[in-house]
Structure formats: structure tokens, C-alpha cells
Amino acid sequence: MRITLQPSPDRTQATLKLGAASADLSAHDIDRLIRDLAAIRAQMTPVHPAEPPHDPQRLHQSDNLLWRVQAAPQTPTIQFATHHPGLGWTAMWLSRAQAEDLITSIEFELVKIPEPG
């Protein structure tokens, strides 16, 4: 069965078509559908691999990364959040050890990138 999703001319809604049936969805409806689909997909097999795919076509990409790091001392963790224009904000809570591992991993990879200028 063919599934299509087409934005309205004013981009405030989208029409979802599933075969002969269709529904108009708001941005909020689309966000909820994305979350629901992701939750269901997380329960399905095959599972997504633990490493990102080498094929750039299989990655959700954004060229204007917005991110935020904020201490969450009540947990005790650091919230690390990134923004994707289509997916919105994704946050994860990192323990001190995980945050330190992330810093080390970034530093390790930075040496592979030439200095500008």
C-alpha cells in the first residue's frame, strides 16, 4: 500500500494518504506521529546497529547544529540535547563518566581534522 505525505501550500498542515484514505495533519500531529512511529520502531527487528551507518543517505542530517548542555544535578547527570529541523530536540542524560568519554572521543577525533588557516 502506498503512503504519501504532502505539505499544504501554506505549510501549516500536511495531507497523509494511505491508499484511498487521507487525513490532514497539523505540525503537532506530525510531531506526535514521529514520536509514535519511533517508539514502535524501537520495538521492532531488525534493531538499528550500535554504530552509525557509513551511508550518509541513512543518517538524519542537519547542517546547522543547535545543541545545549545543561547540568541536571538532581539526577546527577548532564543533559546533552541536539536539534534537528525536522525531528526537533533530542536529549540524553549523560553520567559524569559518559560525559568524560564523550569529551575524550571528540578530542581524539579532532586531531584528525586539519587546523583552519
Q: What is the pLDDT of residues 46-56, one digit of tens each?
A: 999 999 888 88
Say yes or no: 82 and 35 in one domain.
Answer: no
Considering the chain, what is the average pLDDT of its residues? 92
DSSP letter, residue 58: G
The DSSP secondary structure of 75-106, one letter per residue, reads TTEEEEEEEETTTEEEEEEE-HHHHHHHHHHH
Cα 101 from Cα 30, distance rounded (Å): 35
User: Which tens digit of pLDDT belongs to each residue from 54-73?
Assistant: 888 888 777 778 999 999 98
Say yes or no: 43 and 4 in one domain.
Answer: yes
Say yes or no: 45 and 89 in one domain.
Answer: no
- Domain range for 76 is 60-117
Q: Is residue 77 part of a domain?
A: yes
Say yes or no: 72 and 44 in one domain.
Answer: no
Say yes or no: 105 and 67 in one domain.
Answer: yes
Cα 102 from Cα 81, distance rounded (Å): 13
Say yes or no: 76 and 24 in one domain.
Answer: no
Say yes or no: 114 and 83 in one domain.
Answer: yes
pLDDT of residue 37: 94
pTM reported for the whole predicted model: 0.74
- Residue in 114, 110, 69 with CA at minimum distance from that of residue 92: 69
When divided into structural domains, the chain yields a total of 2
Q: Is residue 54 part of a domain?
A: no
Say yes or no: 75 and 114 in one domain.
Answer: yes
Cα 29 from Cα 35, distance rounded (Å): 10
Cα 43 from Cα 107, distance rounded (Å): 34
User: Which tens digit of pLDDT belongs to each residue from 4-62?
Assistant: 999 999 999 999 999 999 999 999 999 999 999 999 999 999 999 999 888 888 887 77
Q: Is residue 96 part of a domain?
A: yes
Say yes or no: 67 and 117 in one domain.
Answer: yes
Band of the pLDDT at 86, cuts 50, 70, 90?
A: confident
